[in-house]
Structure formats: structure tokens, C-alpha cells
Structure 1
Amino acid sequence: MLRDEFDTRVSEIEKYFLLLQKIEGDYKIITDFNRTEDFRIDDDLSKILKANGFLLLYNLIESTLFNSVVEIFDELKTNGITYNAISSELKKFWLKTKYRNQEEETHLNTSQKFYDYVEEIVKNLPIELIVNRIDYGGSIDAKKIKDFSNDLGLSFNDNNYKSYPNGKAFSIIRDYRNKLAHGSNSFASIGKDHTFKGKTKKGDNNEDIVTEFGLEHFKKFTIEHLTAFVYSVESYINNELYRA
């Protein structure tokens, strides 16, 4: 499920960013040769479409983290894994989700909640996740993904979140998403600052170094980073690293 959902969303993003690339180029956008009316994508609409690309990337980030947790706990449920059989990191993560946003349990007093949790552990019942209580720790950037990985006990390399391109790209995507979601900036004001290709220069080893982020860089770094994250989740499940 995790890999399939991730690949589907990446495919959607690739198609959308290809459209952005063509719009910035000298292409005519034709949807149906049988239609006769023309519609021009002007500069303002182009800016709006660019800004929407950041929302698509953030959606990929958040959905990947959400689906990774669901995948892990579905594996536990399918195999009947109990609390006493899982790692200390996963125990803490599960307990945190149990205590978070307990609107449906407001009729229970604190002692009753504590009793129910203890009973679930003592009776060694299979672990189940309450999905609407999954906590990412706030707006997601590369550092939050690394912290999230640590909370689950994943072996996810932290070099990318510390490096300039990936870490910077994720921070900008997070900030733009928040500005758009909270209405503090318009789509056009976000989209006007970025071209598709951005700017690069050659490094000492003839590698391309990004000097000005373009939309293709945001896409590239996001997909690379999340692909590595998905791989770490798959390895975690396949090697049963969730066990104590």
C-alpha cells in the first residue's frame, strides 16, 4: 500500500510539473484537437499554477508519513503483534497516539482511561492504531521527518536533511504551504518568485550546484528524500525491526 500510494502520487506530481515546464516554455497547451476555442495561460495564471505545485509536494510529504505509520501498524495487526513484543520506540509512539486528541473518550475519567490502557497491555492484546491521532509534530520539514523516523525506530540516513539542497528545499515548501493554507500570501505572490529551471553552477567536480531553486529542484529533492524514507520503512517491515 505505502509504495503503491507513493508511486501514484509521484506520478501525479510528475505530470503536473511537466505541465509547468511546458507552460514556461514555448508550447501550446492543447487538450482536444476537435475543439476550436483558444484559452491563454497568462502570466498571473502561470504564477498561481506554480504555487499550487508547492501544495502538491507538501501533500506528498504528509501522505507519505501518514501512510508509513498505517503500513507499520497494519503489519503488526495482521501478524497479531502485541505491546510486549514491539520495540521501545514503537511502544512510546503507540502510547503517544493513544493519549492524543481523545475527544471520543471525554466521557471517561482519567483513572478509567489509565485502567483501559493497562488492561490492553497486560492482556497482551494485538496492537492497533487510532489513525486520527497520528502526530507529525507540526509543520513538516526534513528535520521533522528525521525526528519522526527516530520516533518509530527507523534507520533513516540523516545526511540529506542536514545538507543544504534537501534541507533548504523542504523548509521552503513547508513555509509556502503554511502561507497558502493560512491565507497570509496569495498564490500569485508565491509563484512569482520561481522559474521552473532555477539556476545552477558547476562545482569543482563538474557537478551541478543549485544557486537558485527552480520548481524542478523542489520536485527532485522532495521525491529523492521521500523515496529513501519509503525504502527505510519497507526495510523496517521486511526485517521485522519493529520487534523488541
Structure 2
Amino acid sequence: MMQIIKQEFSDRVNEIDRYFHLLENITEKDAQLIFPNENDRRENLSIRLGLTLKSGLVLLLYNLVESSISKCLGNIHQSLTDENITYFEMSDALQKIWLKYHYKLLNDSSNSNDSSVLQLKKNG
């Protein structure tokens, strides 16, 4: 499964590279649209369109990261399920993640909660 995730990541990186190259050509080389069905009418691309295309690149990068992380976490979850690993057999780090996700007890900005919940877990 990880090999599939890596291949999909690589494929998407290549797509983003091609988009970036196109965007670079459009914005840095004063590209024009040519309409062959309209007597080769030419139209300059506006600065606003360039900004829109750049924001599209940011979205592509965000989606790449979000998708990759989501698939990796799903893969970890599936592995834990397939191997019948219980909560108490997981590392403390995975237990913290599990608690944060399932019970929303912990606040990322407060590390003091992490240790108190782990103490509750160990004492309980």
C-alpha cells in the first residue's frame, strides 16, 4: 500500500511541476492566448489571471500534502486493524494521537494535558 501512496505522490508532484512550468512561462514571458479559429486573434493575459493561476498552484500543493497525510494515516490505521493491535499495545505517541482524535480531550497548544491524560490511562 505504501508503494501505491508513494507512486501517487510522485505522479501528483510531476503534475504540479508541469503546472508550475506552464505558470512560469505564462507569467514571466508575456504569454498571449492565440485563437486560431478567430483569424489568430491574440489576447494578453491579465495580471489578475496570473494571480488566479498562482492561487491554483497553492491549492494543488495543499491538496498534495493533505491527501498524502490522509492516505498515510489511513494506512497506519489499516495496519493496526489488520494486526489486531490494541490501544495498550500502541506506543505512547500513537495513544496520544488516538485520544486526540477520538475524544478531543487534548489541546495541541497545551502539552500539560498530554501528560495528565497519559497518567490517567496508566493508572486506570
Q: Which of the five TM-score ranges fits, normalised by the shorter chain? A: 0.5 to 0.7
1:46-125 equivalences under 5 Å are 46-100=50-104
Query: Given that residues 17 and 53 in structure 1 are in contact (C-alpha distance below 8 angstroms), is that contact kept between their aligned partners in structure 2?
Result: yes
Do structure 1's residue 10 and structure 2's residue 2 form an aligned pair?
A: no
Gaps of 5+ in 2: 109-124
Pair 3,99 (structure 1): closer, same or farther in 2 beyond 3 Å: same
- The residue identity in structure 2 corresponding to 1:95 is L
- RMSD of aligned Cα (Å): 2.5
In structure 2, what is the Cα distance between the partners aligned to 1:89 and 1:97? Answer: 12
Please report how far the alpha carbon of residue 47 of structure 1 lies from its aligned counterpart in structure 2 after TM superposition. 2.2
In structure 2, what is the Cα distance between the partners aligned to 1:74 and 1:42? Answer: 47
Please report how far the alpha carbon of residue 11 of structure 1 lies from its aligned counterpart in structure 2 after TM superposition. 2.1
Please report how far the alpha carbon of residue 49 of structure 1 lies from its aligned counterpart in structure 2 after TM superposition. 0.8
Partner of 1:36: 37
In structure 2, what is the Cα distance between the partners aligned to 1:9 and 1:89? Answer: 30
More helix by share: 2
Q: Larger relative contact order (C-alpha < 8 A, sep ≥ 6)?
A: 1
* TM-superposition CA deviations, 1:179-221 (whole Å, max 9, x none): xxxxxxxxxxxxxxxxxxxxxxxxxxxxxxxxxxxxxxxxxxx
1:120-139 equivalences under 5 Å are none
Partner of 1:21: 24
Pair 39,89 (structure 1): closer, same or farther in 2 beyond 3 Å: farther
Query: Given that residues 25 and 31 in structure 2 are in contact (C-alpha distance below 8 angstroms), is that contact kept between their aligned partners in structure 1?
Result: yes
1:130-169 equivalences under 5 Å are none
- The residue identity in structure 2 corresponding to 1:2 is I
TM-score relative to the length of structure 2: 0.62
Identity %: 39
Query: Given that residues 6 and 60 in structure 1 are in contact (C-alpha distance below 8 angstroms), is that contact kept between their aligned partners in structure 2?
Result: yes
Aligned length: 97
Please report how far the alpha carbon of residue 79 of structure 1 lies from its aligned counterpart in structure 2 after TM superposition. 2.2
* TM-superposition CA deviations, 1:47-74 (whole Å, max 9, x none): 2212221122122222222222112112
In structure 2, what is the Cα distance between the partners aligned to 1:71 and 1:41? Answer: 47
